[in-house]
């Protein structure tokens, strides 16, 4: 019988993680899943727990939280793999705000459906990105994407909105950011040997499809195709940003003249003027960095997914 190690971030979703524990445990028992459940107690604790659980021989390590918790678990599994050549399978139960990683890989948002997915055991093997720079000169792995510029500041603002949750927090954060972050840095973007130099209000480097709970930065992205999808927004007026936002919600921004889309396996971004606020799966990489090196590592982590998105 497979053994599941379940890592819960009790403060995820402003307490939704702790609130979900009785339901999660009851559902896991009802599904006949042999499990151990632990709570995180500090930043990066989920990464340490996931790494040790993989070393200890658990078959599946399950993250219960949002994108930040999933990112830490992913990092722990990748560290275990780097040390031992293999790691546990990853499972996801979403109780956070954005849950963009789960959306991108094909895990249901609703908790009961996600637990049925765990019980099914169907998996796919996904690519994993790695960003080096800013506060992480040693590198940090990501499953969904790296955001640079406007969308990073949106995330900072969304976290300040204590009475809003999920997509609405990001939407209000985006409206505030239009007036807070508007001077686009001059950046040099190197893509698999090619280079683009321009003022960029935002650069999204995606392994998944969505950020902020509803903004489709890479509407056709797939986390197992061996390539990163880039969405680059040029310097535009505040009014133009407002007009673009509905396109990002629909995933139709690619046809706008201010938007450039690219695909690459390796990306280097350097601020020639200004700085780079950046995040990785919603977690801060830097608030004023000068250079980021991003690469995609193909076929790294096996993850349990819904039937229509997985491989038996």
Residue 273 lies in a domain: yes
pLDDT at 305: 97
Count how many domains the chain has.
Answer: 2
Residue 306 lies in a domain: no
Distance CA 74, CA 94 (A): 14
Distance CA 297, CA 206 (A): 13
Residue 308 lies in a domain: no
Burial class (CB in 10 A: 0-12, 13-18, 19+), 142: buried
* Same domain membership, residue 47 and residue 117: yes
Span 21-64, pLDDT tens digits: 999 999 999 999 999 999 999 999 999 999 999 999 999 999 99
**Would the pLDDT of 296 be above 90?**
yes
pLDDT at 181: 67
Residue 305 lies in a domain: no
* Same domain membership, residue 156 and residue 257: yes
Span 111-164, pLDDT tens digits: 999 999 999 999 999 999 999 999 999 999 999 999 999 888 877 777 777 776
Average per-residue pLDDT for the chain: 92
CB burial string 228-256: b at 16+ within 10 A, e below: bbbbbbbebeeeebeebeebbbebebeeb
Cα torsion 293, 139, 208, 299 to 10°: value is 100
* Same domain membership, residue 140 and residue 106: no
**Would the pLDDT of 260 be above 90?**
yes
């Amino acid at each position: 019988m497979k053994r599941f190690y379940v890592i819960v971030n009790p403060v995820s979703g402003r307490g939704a993680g702790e609130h979900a524990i009785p339901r999660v445990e009851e559902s896991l028992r009802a599904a006949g899943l042999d499990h151990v459940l632990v709570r995180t107690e500090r930043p990066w604790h989920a990464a340490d727990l996931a790494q040790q659980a993989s070393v200890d021989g658990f078959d599946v390590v399950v993250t219960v939280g949002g994108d930040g918790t999933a990112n830490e678990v992913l990092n722990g599994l990748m560290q275990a793999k780097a040390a031992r050549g293999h790691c546990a399978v990853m499972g996801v139960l979403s109780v956070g705000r954005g849950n963009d990683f789960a959306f991108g890989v094909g895990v249901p948002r609703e908790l009961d459906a996600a637990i049925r997915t765990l019980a099914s055991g169907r998996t796919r093997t996904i690519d994993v990105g790695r960003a080096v720079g800013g506060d992480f000169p040693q590198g940090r792995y990501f499953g969904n994407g790296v955001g640079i510029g406007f969308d990073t500041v949106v995330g900072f603002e969304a976290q300040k909105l204590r009475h809003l949750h999920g997509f609405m927090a990001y939407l209000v954060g985006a409206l505030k950011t239009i007036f807070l972050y508007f001077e686009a840095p001059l950046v040099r973007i190197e893509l698999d040997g090619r280079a683009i130099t321009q003022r960029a209000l935002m650069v999204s480097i995606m392994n998944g499809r969505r950020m902020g709970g509803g903004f489709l930065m890479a509407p056709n992205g797939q986390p197992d195709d061996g390539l990163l999808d880039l969405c680059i927004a040029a310097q535009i007026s505040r009014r133009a940003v407002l007009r673009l936002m509905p396109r990002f919600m629909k995933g139709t921004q690619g046809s706008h003249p201010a938007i450039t889309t690219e695909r690459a396996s390796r990306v280097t971004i350097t601020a020639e003027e200004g700085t780079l606020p950046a995040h990785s799966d919603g977690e801060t990489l830097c608030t004023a960095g000068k250079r980021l090196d991003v690469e995609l590592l193909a076929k790294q982590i096996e993850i349990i997914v819904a039937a229509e998105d997985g491989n038996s």
